[in-house]
Structure 1
Amino acid sequence: MGDRFPSEPELITRYGVSRATVREAIISLEQEGWLRRLQGKGTFVSERPKVHRTVAVIAPYLYANDSPDFRAGTDVIPLLMQSIEHHARKKGVSISLYLDNLEVETERENLLNVVERGVDAVLMIYIGGPANLDCLEKIRAANIPLVLFDRYIEELPIDAVASDNQLGAYRATMRLLDEGVSSVAYITGPIDSTVLRDRRQGYLDAMAERGIAASVLELRQDLGEGVDRSNYDRTYDLVRQLRFPTAIFSADATRLAVISQIVEEMGVPRSDYALGCFDEPYLNPPEDLMLVKVLQPLREIGRNAVDLTLGRIEGRSDAPARLLLPPEILVTGAWTQALIGS
């Protein structure tokens, strides 16, 4: 820094290139801030210029509802966002946040907006299904690096960092079966993403491996996955179809919180059921009720998503990457004997 830069004749002699090539290179380095000319003194090396990068982060929501019941399990996105912001700040990257509010059309507006703004990269949770794939193509055509987190899509070769949902569901189901339970019912929302598809497949893989009949119950629900009266009633109707004793494995924590309440209201003895879900339902189960939780590596997902995004900005590696990180299986409560061999 501050050293005198070789003159044009010195560079021509040293590298055997033309004067035009040398002048073009010097002008380019000046424009990028690497060199500075001082009248009558020559050209000198400047301090390395700081690169200010802005990454657009697009997410469906932070907390989508003020209801404390709904917030059971919905801290996934806030924890992901916290990890992304923290790691990006350490790397000197600014975050520009866009929220879709679970609306595909709003997501479309956000995607078109970031193309127009010319951000350095886009990091997002994609909810648009087939409707917004053309917007993803626009981002790629504009040579803006695009990385998905929390989930991936199969329609386009786009980088993604997410939990290995299939592995998590498989291990959780196997843990329940290893305790000797003869029945595990799986309750899920509509299979409208690779997240829910992979979770269902992991459950099915475990049941098939043990030679036990699978029971998948799909819950139709209103937009937002909340716990308003209509969603509660539909969940209640679904739970009434179950044959106890059984273990109940929910695809998400929000739904499990409702299922737990319904089973208790139905007066089902604790010896006749166990519970399982993805993420943290913030239940306080009694010691005689087993709860199996699949905890996603949210902070690792955030860090890896930022690192992958920066790698794309800097032009490292061309092949699209899909990083699926293994979740942790956490078991609380004690198993009861009534479920074994029933």
Structure 2
Amino acid sequence: MLQLQSWSRFLRVPAPARLLLLSLGFHGILLSLPIPSPEPKLPDPGPETVGVRELPREQPPEQPKVVQPRNTASISSKPQASPPRLLASPPQSVLPIPAPSPQPPTPTVKASPKATISPAPSVTPSPSTSVPVSAFADFPHVSGVQSGCEGLGNCWQAEGMRLTSVSRNLQESLEAQRYEVQLVNDDAGIRVYELSKRGEKRYLSLFSTPERGTLYVLAAQPLTSENLQQAMQAKTKLSTILNDLTSVEQPQVIRENLSRPELFWATNSTQTLNLNPGITGDLLLVSASTPKRLFDETLAPSLQAQGFSVSEIKNYANGPVYEVKQGVFTRYLNLVPTRNGQGTVVVLWSNLPNG
């Protein structure tokens, strides 16, 4: 009965007031209810540690590298820092490798053929210079002959041998070495042969000299008895010019005044000093004149007055070498400064000195 009476009283209350009372009642009920705290959900991140699951994945690739037990301990102590670096490094190292590899081979192939072109011109001059040298390089000689005679180039002298004997000996030796030999002149006291081999041609001229035996000359042109007479006269003129010099001829004194005497003397097995082959006559020491002064003031005027042509062609033993020429006659005049630089040693060569 009491509940009905209270309910009837409540219904008599105006509608807005009833709503207000109801809302106050509900709010009171809600505030009195216990609100569950979200704190018990915080321990959930504990099982979300991803590092525990990634450790077994990273250990297999690192097992072959782990040879010493010290490496295993260092990996387990830092599990979280190592995995992201290992995963990011392989894709970056793979990308740059294929890009540069195809590019370097292309320029190297283009540069190689340019280098092969350079040796081509160096090969061409070699055959042209070797042909004339090899054609007469094996030219035979009579045993016992001496090179250099009468101021003629490529001249040999066979002392005490007759012209017929020397010519027969040379002809047989030349034909044995496949030279083509043809007699073109057979006058009294002279014989001239035309020689050819591998397209090269030379003339062998033989002369009979009563006082010396036989001499023969290998030249590009045949020589006559008149050429031989001119060569003998030129030799006499040059000897006269050199003998007029105020000089010393003692070998020991001259050796002491030279910086390099070994260029002019050779020592044999008996320790005897001999002049090197190619030197004609004795060496002369002019102590009061330098090479330039001696040539300009004395030798050049005298040689030109006797009809010689003179030209400087090289330097030997620190001194100039002059080619002295008249007709078929040729000599080489070497003016060597003395050790003190105040004098000159005069050396006459039948062949151009090497060095």
Q: TM-score scaled to structure 2, two decimals? A: 0.22
Considering only CA atoms, is the larger Rg found in Structure 1 or Structure 2? 2
Q: TM-score scaled to structure 1, two decimals? A: 0.23
